[in-house]
Amino acid sequence: MSSWETAHRIILNVRIGEFPTQAYLDTGAVYFVCAPEIAALLGLDPADQLASEQLIFRGRLYQGGLYRIPLTIVAGQGESLAVEVTAFIPQLHPDDEWPIEFPCIAGMSGCFERLRFAIDPLDETIYFGDLTV
């Protein structure tokens, strides 16, 4: 088993629009990286794309677009938090597959920089709240 497969991860229950899924927190990542299959459910309009972008993920270069999408971080206790994030949506070739076991990645830039958060590493719990409070 690789270190990637056994690494500790903070897993978040989220809703993208009205679609529930999971994301893992990566404070070294940019944007909220959204799997193409989930992005397709949102019915994003290509005219709403903010910019074209390239990201290297797991050693591979992906072309895609940046969009503003509604994200709700679902609380296990307390209140869930809705925030608008900048999402990278990869554009895959017809024979490509999204290569990760979790469909989404919550990065710092464009996503978690929009809220207050703290991590308890002992039980891999994240605490979060509105940045404006």
pLDDT digits (tens, 9 = 90+) for 36-51: 888 889 988 889 999 9
The full set of domain ranges for the chain reads 3-130
**Contact by Cβ (8 Å): 84, 71:** yes
pLDDT digits (tens, 9 = 90+) for 15-71: 999 999 999 899 888 999 998 888 889 988 889 999 999 988 778 888 999 999 999
DSSP assignments along 27-46, one per residue = EEEESEEE-HHHHHHHT--G
pLDDT score at 87: 96
d(CA 110, CA 106) in angstroms, rounded, equals 9
Residues near 30 by beta carbon (within 8 Å), at least 6 away in sequence: 55, 88, 107, 108, 109, 110
Q: Specify the fold of 3-130.
A: Cathepsin D, subunit A; domain 1 (2.40.70)
pLDDT digits (tens, 9 = 90+) for 73-92: 999 899 999 999 999 999 88
